[in-house]
Chain A
């Protein structure tokens, strides 16, 4: 089915090409004639010629009119050949043939006669170009043309719009055109009926038109516009809320990713790993390194960085566990200090070996750009990917904890180390594996962070305190707690930011957590169990 359709499209395309070639010769004389007319007739007559060109159906017509309106259509004095000026700075201008599109190199500007144009014509052409676009066979082209029209409809175009709307097949294009026309009607005509059309619109031009109408002397119009504006404000508020939520969730998933490894190591071993931030940094640098190894393929490098980042950080984690942490069993405060020392060393290592400056990690094409939900709300893709990635990592960890032998042992050791040991669980092995897992997840967080923030030696430092806050807020050792805490803190931060500013918002979140700890010293989801005495 799909293939046969593809074939038929190809066939059509071939036929069209063939037709184009056979007519080329004929058309070119026709085209030369039209352009000559444009160049030689008076301003009054030019309008008609412009319309003729537009209706000629020539594919190049758009280009001609565009360059004409921007003073770039010209004629070579000697040959009468029409050219389009590409670069008009300096004495020699770079030009191409208007008919064949062939680049003709540089030409002295003295040899060139620009086809003259005036503002009335420009306006006319703008409308005509829109019409050309609106007649384009490609729906996407029509849609973007229709959207561009909002707020820039001119009198002549407005007359033609109703018929175009009727002829339009696509609902969305039709809607956009109707709105464009309504904006024109409200703005220029003070049409009360058109106000209703704009009532739900999120377009800024539509709002501008309504605002103008609200100040109108026509009481009826002003009232209708005020009503419409109110409904728009309502909708905008919702959209802004959605946007804040999106930013909040995106920040939240970053926090969650950064913190969840910490939650695991802290929960299982009671160990504060101050070098956790630097393990995140290692993950980010792994991404950068991968992209250096695979130049030109940032996407592939990024995907390969996911396992690589995990591995690098996990190995670093094992090294830290074996060299430092295992010697400090049962001395959590000393562990905190020692791992802080490790974090200083790792930071300085990166500064010395790589560079103290930030490195650029390329965002692959498929991750850049944004998804437009409506005219007031578009979601940036990279953040969307990070949210998705965070959720996948979370689900993965959940699976490991719930479904694997390691998870079972980890949970056993978390709840009662002595008992687990006496049941034959090798607590040391569990410690190493847990630490590797927690560190590896930090590496994953680094890979994700490399897409939304600067990769530099201080990357880890800037996340470590936030991560701790998330863990403390969520409750040590609770994955769900970490998820909820990350998302909550992210959202609170984003909610506060607009009216408090970024720094103050952060301070408020920190103070909030400090106060929260007073009420629930063990976080949102405290580890439960029969209280051990002591």
Chain B
């Protein structure tokens, strides 16, 4: 009967029909708030009283050993996982816990997965076309036409990610690093306010890594970027502010130097790395 109730009672259903177009409210500074968030899987506390704030236009790096809860945190922000307790706000207007994944994406949060996920049966161009900010409801999508300005936009991004020559190639044949870039390109097509980037340089050469660092730092300011990365060199090269996660909560926060001198951090994380 609860299905019926949802159908009849929840006005939320009708909200779906008109996607939330209201701009993100960042007058108070931060674009993302996570407050007292807790998640557990089968008694295992993946996220433990996590508090995190990301400022508008900030480039934030998040590091932490395996199992620190980095990916789970992204799952929570993008609506994939619902926290047991706590609140997650996008700006000071949108409660993300009430929204579904597509809603959150439409609001302006883009995510790159840890494992590069692109549509392998589609061409590079089509991948970007699908990602493009547009009316993504069913009928508008069915009748959508490729306009010249869209083509320009896609070409622009293709240029940025260096895949112009491969625009008609199937995404499935790309190398690992190229897939990573394509996915970042898809993020850019979405024109998000906040980019969540999970391990962007895994499987990349030094050169590719440098270009990625350039790309990400150039985005900061216009957009907020959260990067989760294992590669310390890469983090050092882009980081302004670093957050260390450990066992599901924030262990330390500050500049790379501050963090790497933090005794706790050395103990749980850098100690192992060094």
Contacts and interface: CB of A to CB of B under 8 A. Distances in A.
Chains A and B touch each other in the complex, with CB atoms below 8 Å apart: yes
Interface of A: 515, 518-519, 528-531, 533-534
Interface of B: 2-3, 41-42, 44, 46, 71-72, 75, 80-81, 113-115, 117
12 contacts: A515-B3, A518-B3, A528-B41, A528-B42, A529-B41, A531-B41, A533-B71, A533-B75, A533-B80, A533-B113, A533-B114, A533-B115
A348 B17 CA distance: 52
A249 to B, nearest CB: 29
Contacts, number: 24
Contacts of B3: 515, 518
A411 to B, nearest CB: 15
B70 to A, nearest CB: 11
Nearest to B81: A531
Contacts of B71: 533
A528 B71 CA distance: 18
Contacts of A515: 3
Contacts of B2: 519
Contacts of A518: 3
Contacts of A531: 41, 75, 80-81
B44 A530 contact: yes
Contacts of A533: 71, 75, 80, 113-115
Of A515, A528, A531, A533, most B-chain CB atoms within 10 Å: A533
B115 A530 contact: no
Nearest to B44: A530
Contact of B46 (A519, A528, A530, A534): A530
B3 to A, nearest CB: 7
Nearest to A533: B71
B67 to A, nearest CB: 9
Contacts of A528: 41-42
Contact of A534 (B72, B81, B117): B117
Contacts of B80: 531, 533
A528 B75 CA distance: 17
Contacts of B113: 533-534
B186 to A, nearest CB: 16
A529 B115 contact: no
Nearest to B2: A519
A531 B69 CA distance: 12
Contacts of B117: 534
Shortest beta-carbon contacts, A-B, top 7: A528-B42, A530-B41, A533-B71, A533-B114, A533-B113, A531-B81, A530-B46
A337 B46 CA distance: 39
A306 to B, nearest CB: 37
Contacts of B41: 528-531
Given A530-B44, A531-B81, A534-B115, 5 more contacts: A515-B3, A528-B41, A529-B41, A533-B71, A533-B114
B38 to A, nearest CB: 15
